[in-house]
Amino acid sequence: MTQTSITPTTTAAATTRRGRWIADWRPEDTEFWEETGAPIARRNLLWSVFAEHLGFSVWLIWSVSSAFLAAQGFAFTPEQLFFLVAIPNLVGSLIRIPYTLAVGKFGGRNWTMISASMLLVPTLLFAYAVTNPATPYWAFCLIAATAGLGGGNFASSMANINFFYPARLKGSALGLNAAGGNLGVSIIQFLLPVIVGGAGIFGLVKASAGGIHLERAAFVYAGLAVCAVLAAFLFMDNLEGAKTDTRSQLAVVRHRHTWVMSFLYIGTFGSFIGYSAAMPLLIKLNFWRQPVPQVPGIGINFAFYAFLGALVGSLARPLGGYLADRVGGAKVTVAAFAGMVLGTLGIVWTLGQLTSFPPPPSADALQAIAADPGSFTYPAAVQNAVDANSSWFPVFLGIFMFIFFCTGIGNGSTYKMIPAIFRKDATRDTAEGTPERELALIEGNKLSSAAVGIIGAVGAIGGFLIPISFNSPWVTDPLASTKAAFWAFTAFYVVCGTVAWAVYLRKRSADTGYVGV
């Protein structure tokens, strides 16, 4: 292997390679960027997206597989299942900070190889657990926690790509990078039911007649993780300019806007990942009934629709970055929160139209149904509730898609704001064209990349809190629990939108240096 060495002149230079480290990187130099930098940046972005995409898929593998555990022979309660899908989000949020710092320590290419190889841990453990009927719930919780390793990939990938692109393109580049990763949520929720034999694709592919085999999905993603390691080794680069010590990176925690943006990111990305994790179970518990796997289910099959929210939110993310590049990230972020308020109010109204299901059969009754499924018929109250709720499902789904769209827009715009804030700091106290300005911009770029990890870590905690909010009251009164949760989400989005407006748009803000970022 060779290293990329770019001669620090005023024009673009030819490159030589030793060790795949780029010694000089000047994306703000227009001539260098157009002749040399852009192709390298695009190549690194492409393979970064691939590795990050797999990380998201592994991170959210439990969001949809949990709904199939009963068919695999595991009798877990709804509370246990919601907690199971929440655990990876908590771990994924906590490890984002060390993953971000690892880019400056080891290099973006090197850390992509390491982090992709670590995806073998949750996938292979998952494959073992679901094929062993004796696996206890606590073991499932531990294995689900290792899936959080995939959540860390996002932070390191975003921190790395942030170094490759000039300020004028950061919103779009980071939006594309994040969207490619976020799509991993939608892809796993779409393909896993098909891979494991649990459902077809809208009649185009039939469900397996041989039952559910969750381990198949784990083996597929373990193989793809190996591919990601090889791709990073062959096609990605490290940047010398991105290397920094941990202490200087952590200085970003003293910047108050790190915490303001973290709070806003809980509202955007935390909502995206939290709703993505909870949506399969929300659909199953409110619109579907199947007491035992041996009896055909009635209502809305979550497997056909659970992936749509993550798909919409992922595709909207680069649009949010694009709009932020042109009109300002703060304006787009405030508009996104306004849309989320309207969306959650719409969900509350729709939930008010649904009919509560009667209590589920007792354990003894379920055993009797499984022993003689041919004699089972759904009680009239259950059938009527399913029919009534199914008629409202298109409204529920449509409003939820609007919420996901707004989360994607907000995700893209907030990540445009982060480098803009630190660039403001760099330009405020230095004169244009001076060496001090150049050094300040380099340091600001390093700090913004560190901030990306911290903000991403705090924001991802929302992915843990949202499923938990649907947790304990489900057994007694699911609809009341869900409506209460969405009322709380609505109030939180109002606060988020107000904070974004007061700090980054209000002209009388005491911190006017950041108005309009």
DSSP letter for each residue of 443-505: HHHHHHHHHHHHHHHHHHTHHHHHHHHTSGGGTT-HHHHHHHHHHHHHHHHHHHHHHHHHHHT
Nearest CA-CA partner of 239 in 163, 138, 151: 163
- Per-residue confidence (pLDDT) for residue 504, from 0 to 100: 92
Q: Are strands 238-239 and 21-22 parallel, antiparallel or unpaired?
A: parallel
**Other CB atoms within 10 Å distance of the CB of residue 394:** 10
Instruction: Identify the bridge partners of residue 288 per DSSP, sorted by sequence position.
Output: 299
Residue 209 pLDDT: 47
| Count of CA atoms in the C-beta half-sphere (13 A) of 508 | 0
What pLDDT shows up at residue 415?
A: 83
Q: Which positions of the chain have pLDDT values less than 70?
A: 1-19, 71, 198-211, 245, 248, 471-477, 508-513
pLDDT of residue 483: 87
Superfamily of domain 5-360+378-514: MFS general substrate transporter like domains (1.20.1250.20)
What local confidence, expressed as pLDDT, does residue 511 receive?
55
3-state SS of 358-411? CCCCCHHHHHHHHHCHHHCCCCHHHHHHHHHHHHHHHHHHHHHHHHHHHHHHHH
DSSP 207: P
What value, to the nearest 5°, has the Cα angle with vertex 286 and ends 390 and 89?
130
Extents of the domains making up the chain = 5-360+378-514
Find out whether 241 and 442 touch, Cβ atoms under 8 Å. Answer: yes
pLDDT reported for residue 277:
86
- φ, ψ for residue 5, nearest 5 deg: -125, 115
> CA-CA distances (angstroms) from residue 1 to 37, 57, 159?
20, 31, 24
**Unique residue bearing structure tokens 């130099």:** 29
Asked if 443 and 426 count as a contact pair (C-beta separation under 8 A), the reply is yes
Give dist(CA 261, CA 457) in Å, integer.
11
Please state, in angstroms and rounded to a whole number, the distance separating the CA atoms of residues 55 and 323.
Answer: 27
Strand partners, 238: 21
